Structure 1
Amino acid sequence: MRDDEFGQDVQADDAFDVGPLEEELRRAAAILDPVPAELRRIAVEAFALHDLDARIAELTFDSVVDAIPVRGATDVPRMLTFRAGEVTVDVEVTGDGLLGQVLPPQQALIEVLTGPQTSAPLVADDMGRFTGDAPPVGPFALRLRTGGEVVVTEWLRV
């Protein structure tokens, strides 16, 4: 125990919980002084560089750009294909999550990058197939760890 400025005993473990205050300050800053969109984009792109030894997988097919739309079809999945050397990653993005395959078929750990934090890694089986229950929100990229190799896809918006 220690005395406060009025001479009363104060317990040392009566610490002030700053969690709600911090959250309120974050909300105020987001409203009064938001991060510019261009700065956010640059920060997300810079974050992708933390795996400098990773190979970058280039987007070779995007159904939003390359596919012919079907009349009357709504809520169609987005199909993406990435390639880095001999490794190809096919991904289907739906409102329910991700479905994909690594080719040539091999086991891999796949992380869905959506900013500073990553979700739980997805595991590709012996056939290279993987699924994720949560669709990515906002800009995202995939980081694949196959054996001793790391492959990172380009960043995209869903």
Structure 2
Amino acid sequence: MNDQELIAAIAAARREAAEVPERIREIGRAAFAWRTVDAELAALATEAPAGARAEPAAVRALTFAARDLTIEVEITDDALHGQVVPPRAGEIELRDRTGVVAVARVDEVGWFVLGPVPRGMFRLHLRAGDAVVVTEWITI
């Protein structure tokens, strides 16, 4: 075996060793899905007055309620403006199905701005002090 053949054989062996079997990939994806298992899920709070008509309308304000806090969001043409109540500083992420789309700092009075406005399904992921809260998926 000459040097070129040896180099080609080593390269082929490295490529083969680097390939990850599909079953291992599935296990990795399943494990990754559990990364936020300790985060509290914040549900969308719906407050429709009794007897209100159910007409289609553009969603402009959302409130996500968790055990110890709420995340209030107003949707404008170019961003999501929000507040964490009670106020606490931290970081909030806007995530879609592909991952993190935007990250914003939550200031000491709980205010944040995330943009641009997401298209399709999204959720928010808040880390503030010892609180970790993930909202349910929503489409606006």
TM superposition score category, shorter chain reference: 0.5 to 0.7
Q: Which amino acid aligns with 1:132?
A: L
Code of the residue aligned with 1:126 in structure 2: it is E
> How much has 1:137 moved relative to structure 2?
1.4
Question: SS at the partner of 1:101?
Answer: strand
Higher RCO (CA < 8 A, seq sep 6+): 2
2:73 is the alignment partner of 1:117:
no
Which amino acid in 1 is paired with 2:108? D
Q: Structure 1 79/108 Cα, relative in aligned 2: closer, same or farther at 3 Å? A: same
- Residues 1:53 and 2:38 are matched in the alignment: yes
What residue in structure 1 maps to residue 65 of structure 2? 83
Q: How far is the alpha carbon of 1:117 from its aligned partner?
A: 2.0
| 2:110 alignment counterpart | 128
Determine the C-alpha separation between the residues in 2 that align with 1:97 and 1:122.
Answer: 11
How many residues are paired up? 107
Separation in 1, partners of 2:36, 2:59: 29
Could you tell me how far apart the structure 2 residues matched to 1:51 and 1:79 are? Answer: 26
| Contact 2:95–2:102, Cα closer than 8 Å, also in 1 | no
1:143 shift after superposition? 0.3
SS across alignment from 1:53: coil
Q: What are the superposed Cα offsets for residues 81-136 of structure 1, whole Å, 9 maximum, x if unpaired?
A: 01111111100122211000001011020000111320231111110000123001
Given that 1:77 and 1:94 are in contact with CA atoms closer than 8 Å, whether structure 2 keeps it comes out as no
Residue identity (%): 39
**Structure 1 stretches (4+) deviating beyond 2 angstroms?**
47-50, 66-69
Is the contact made by 1:61 and 1:79 (CA closer than 8 Å) also made in structure 2?
Answer: no
> TM-score, normalised on structure 1?
0.59
TM-score, normalised on structure 2? 0.66
Whole-Å Cα distance in 2 between the matches of residues 89 and 61 of structure 1? Answer: 13
Show structure 1 runs of 5+ residues with no match: 4-46
What is the distance in 2 between the residues matched to 1:148 and 1:119? 23
